[in-house]
Amino acid sequence: MSGRFDPPPATAIQADVARALAEDLGKGDVTAALLPDVADAAYLLCKQDAVIAGRPWFDACHRALDPDVRIDWRIEEGDRAAKGTVLATLQGRARSLVSAERASLNFLQTLSGTATATAAYVDAVRGTKAQILDTRKTLPGLRLAQKYAVRVGGGVNHRIGLYDAVMLKENHVRAAGGLTAAIRAARAMHPELPLIVEVETLAQLEEALAEGCERILIDDFDAPTRRMAVRIAAGRIPLEVSGGVDLAGVRAIAEDGVDCVSIGALTKHVQAIDLSLKLGPPPDRN
């Protein structure tokens, strides 16, 4: 199930769910109170082709309101679902099923949207050595969840935040008086952390290669300069491309021989997957 993608700690998922339910339920679901508080069934329908991600959040929403709810998934986390697929069936209290519906779907549709977009980019570069990376351009409060969804879609996480890797960009280089000085200062201050260096010219690329780091970001290089950078680096340090990457052009970038392509759109341009939760048994055809 979701364990193969290393989901965030259960405490982080529970905190996400608690916030979502609190903002939706407030003092109580006044509409669900119109329903009889009896046992009922529901089914989860996928209304467009998608890569499914977010089962742990969906489950946690429903179990927060009904610890005894039974959720039977018909699809694994990370599987591709076709339009019209019944993803899961549920057995629980009618009021709880309805009250948890929107929060659970919000998580599942958003994270499946991120996983689906990531998978499209991964498919586009298949056969090259390039990995698809995410960025820190995530929805506020959902970083761990969206980073998880990127992994489900076959992508690789960049740094999680500003604390787990040093990334030198133009402002740092300017403040240090040059790229070499910035790299040496970063190494001296944080020798235990990975160092990623952004370069703007081939001359800076040569500097970064000479000083050493874990990855070099060649941001907004045109195609000829990018190919020259690959030849200069010659596999010594991985090269990452970022900036202005879209699905139509990512294959050409990967075929130039770069190691990574980072794409902010995976997590900031979220197109939620169309899902619905309906009371009652699923249609016989599923």
Binding-site residues sit at 102, 135-137, 159, 169, 198, 219, 242-244, 263-265
Annotated catalytic residue within 74, 137, 227, 278: 137
Active site residue 198: yes
Annotated catalytic residue within 24, 79, 102, 274: 102
Q: Tokens in use for 30?
A: 């006044």
Nearest partner of 65 among 34, 112, 101, judged by Cα: 101
Active site residue 83: no
Q: Tokens in use for 173?
A: 């280089």
Q: What Cα–Cα distance (Å) separates residue 85 from each residue in 43, 70, 72, 82, 271? A: 10, 19, 14, 6, 19
Active site residue 102: yes
Q: Are residues 61 and 7 in contact, defined by beta-carbon separation less than 8 angstroms?
A: no
Q: How far apart are CA 107 and CA 56, in angstroms?
A: 9
Annotated catalytic residue within 16, 59, 101, 198: 198
Residue positions forming the annotated binding site for substrate: 102, 135-137, 159, 169, 198, 219, 242-244, 263-265
Q: How far apart are CA 34 and CA 117, in angstroms?
A: 39
Active site residue 137: yes
Annotated catalytic residue within 219, 227, 255, 268: 219
Q: How far apart are CA 57 and CA 70, in angstroms?
A: 15
Q: How far apart are CA 283 and CA 32, in angstroms?
A: 24
Count of alpha carbons within 13 angstroms of residue 109, beta-carbon side: 18
Q: Tokens in use for 66?
A: 């009904």
Q: Are residues 77 and 55 in contact, defined by beta-carbon separation less than 8 angstroms?
A: yes
Active site residue 37: no
The phi and psi torsions of 42 (rounded to 5 degrees) equal -150, 160
Which residues are part of the catalytic machinery?
102, 137, 169, 198, 219
